[in-house]
Structures are given as structure tokens and as C-alpha cells.
Amino acid sequence: MSKNIVVPELGESVVEATVIRWIKNEGEAVAMGETLVELETEKANFEVAAETAGVLEKILKNPDEDVEIGEILGMINENGTASANISVETKPSEITRQEEQKESDDTTDIKVTPIARRLIDDNKLNAANIRGTGPNNKITKEDVENYLKTNGQGLQEDVIEPQPSTVDTAPKPPATSVVIPEADDREHRVRMSVRRRTIARRMLEAQAQAAILTTFNEVDMGTVMEVRKRRKESFFEKHGVKLGFSSFFVKAVIGALKEFPAVNAEIQEDYIVYKNYFDIGMAIGAEGGLVVPVLRDADRMTFADIERTVGELVTKANDGKLSLQELRGGTFTITNGGVFGSLMSTPILNPPQVGILGMHKIEERPVAVNGEVVVRPMMYTALSYDHRIVDGKEAVLFLVKIKELIEDPEVLLLEG
């Protein structure tokens, strides 16, 4: 008896996905609960597991195909017997790709991000030949792209020697399965992923549906930097995590949101819904595109809780392992372009939120302090807000409050 493998419910508001890769091959035995195929949604990657044991009888949706909830991905034969060899219907290129992947994973301890793995598989590369520059030498998408630029578009497969023919004796060039593009190719088309298409759509929606305005200020980071320098060793020994800037800004944002609740609200038809909780989204520029996982009830978290959770979310984002629950909701967002060197920007709102804080690069600049010009480590901050419910005065004072809390971090402790 055959049982369909269908696209399951993928979470709130998620209706479509793209097939990334099949973990199992046609004709291969599968156990109940074993992962069969990996999908990419607009929010996170999603693994579809077998609901019954048997044999993967048929693959109906191939990598890069878009699918919707309820569509049939393939079929499992509950009474089938696994083939000694991979099914003849499996594409030769897929067999080669899967064999190379198993060989790489079994014989080495190479760490590869999901998107990098997809590029490696698609170009029939050996991960052992690529130098990883990510955390713990993990191979990233950029590493694979750089390898392709310097070593050609993929590795040539074994040359097939032409067989003697009594019909056509004209000399023929050796055949290869990969054609290297000419050096003067100036364009190439890359299909947008589901996530990238969703990001593009949401950015346009945010600008079309809200009256976005941005106000700026600058913050002297000297005191926070001094506290970090003085406390970093004891903090790490006690909590096992480094003390960064994230916890200071999350706490400062919460302090400002408590004083200006309209920035922690949203519009629903003709109503303003004020949130009495603080779920802070942290924008992360992952390989597959921007994601915004959420710190739930961040006002109840300690500095160590925030630093630890942010670190875990960044790792999950880069590995494509964020869950839908970790990406759902949020009442306010923080984005840090400074980690990439941005000096100033105007962040775009993350609907239905009405406020987003932009952090930027810390740079030493001459400033006037008590009538004297001194050099201080300064950061420009930006608040983009929905002018429909947040007035300019509120927005400016909100950013001033963050400035005060960061420049005098003891207040963060005194005010809780």
C-alpha cells in the first residue's frame, strides 16, 4: 500500500515552500519519523519526516520546485522492499551528488551551512577542497562562490572515452558533462528563493502601508565599553558567555518602551493595540536572507540570558535551524548594521510593529565635553517609526531615553 508524502502545515501565514533537497533516494528504506526531504519557507527551513515505515517509492517534487501546503511530494510503499541499488529512475546526477555528499560527511569532519551544501551539491564539488571561513571553519555560501570563481564553475566529471564506430570515423572531441562558461559572460540568472521573495514583498508592503519616518541621535559608548572591559572576565567565568552590546541595548530599548508605550503598539483597523509585554526581535543577516528571531519576554531576562540567547539565535540562523516559533511575533525590532561597518542607515519597519532601532558602527570622533574637544567612541542610532500613531516628539524623546540609559548604564540596574 502506498502512502502520500504531503507538504504539512508550515506555520502561521506560511502557505508555500521550495524543495531544497531529498535526504532519501527512491528505492531506499525509511523508518517512521525519519527525515525525508528539506523545504525552505519564507521564515525557516523545514524538515518533512516519514509518517510510516516502508520504502521511498516515488519522488514527485524535485529540488528548486515550489510547493504549497497539501501538495504531494512523493510516495512511500509501506510493504515495499528496499532495492539493493538506487532506483533506476533516480537521476544519475543526483546519485553522484548524494554519493559525494555521503563520502564527504563520513570521512571528514567538515562543517557546511545548508545553503553552501546546496551549492556544493549542485556544482558537484568536494567540500574537502574548499576552505571554510565561517565559525569553527564552517564553509559558507561565500566560500563556495569564491571557490567557483577561482576554480571554474564546478569540477569536470570523468571524461567518457568515445567508442570506436564503424559508421562515423570522424575525430570527435572528448565529452564532458560540465560546460565551463566563457570568461566574458557578463550576466547570469539566479532564481530568487522563497525567503528572498518574501523579504522583497514585505519590504514593499512596509513602505506602502505605514507612514515611515526616521529620527537620529548619537550615543557616547565610552562608559559601556569601560564596563565591558572591567567586567568581561568575571562575567564570562560566571555565565559562560561573553558580555556584548546586545544586552545593554535590549535593556535600554525596554526602558524606553515602558516610558513611551505607543512605540510598543500596533494598529488593527481603527484601533491601537498597546502591548504590555516586550518581545524584542533581533534582525540577523543570515546566508539565506534577513531573519528576525524574537527574544520572548525580554524584560524578564538577565544580561546573561540575553547574550546567551542572541548567540544561540545567530548560530541557528546561519545553520538554517531557526524554528517557526522563534520567528513568530515580536513587538519591536533591533537591527545592527554596525557589525558590517554601517555608519548610518534608515531601517525599514517590520510590520505590524511601529518601531525599529538601528545600531551602527562605533567610531572615535572629536566631540565637545564640558567645553573641551575630546575624542570619544560614538555611535549613531536611528529610530524608524510609524508616524500614524507615533508623534515626532515621542520618537525623539524615545531615542533620547535610549541615549541616556546607554551613556549611564547604572540606571539600567536602578530602574530594573
Residues with active-site annotation: 387, 391
What is the Cα–Cα distance from 115 to 129, expressed in whole angstroms?
17
Q: What are phi and psi of 190, to 5 degrees?
A: -125, 125
Host H or E run for residue 229? helix 222-239
Spatial contact of 292 and 350, defined as CB atoms under 8 Å apart: yes
* Inter-residue contact 114 to 96 (CB < 8 Å): no
Whether the CB-CB separation of 289 and 201 falls below 8 Å is answered with: no
Q: Which amino acid is at 365?
A: R
Write out the DSSP string of 135-169: GGG-B-HHHHHHHHHHH-SSPPPPPBPPPP-SS--
Three-state SS string over 10-43 comes to CCCCCCEEEEEEECCCCCCEECCCCEEEEEECCC
Q: Which residues of 199-232 are buried (b: 16+ CB within 10 A; e: fewer)?
A: beebeeebeeebebebbeebbbbbbbeeebeeee
Query: How far is it, in rounded angstroms, from Cα 103 to Cα 77?
Result: 28
Distance between CA atoms of 239 and 305, rounded to whole angstroms?
9
Please name the residue that has the C-alpha cell 535600554.
Answer: 252
Following CA atoms 180, 181, 184, 190 in sequence, which dihedral angle do they give, to the nearest 10 degrees? Answer: -140
Q: What does the DSSP 8-state code read for residue 90?
A: S
Burial-class residue 375 by CB neighbours within 10 Å (0-12, 13-18, 19+). Answer: exposed
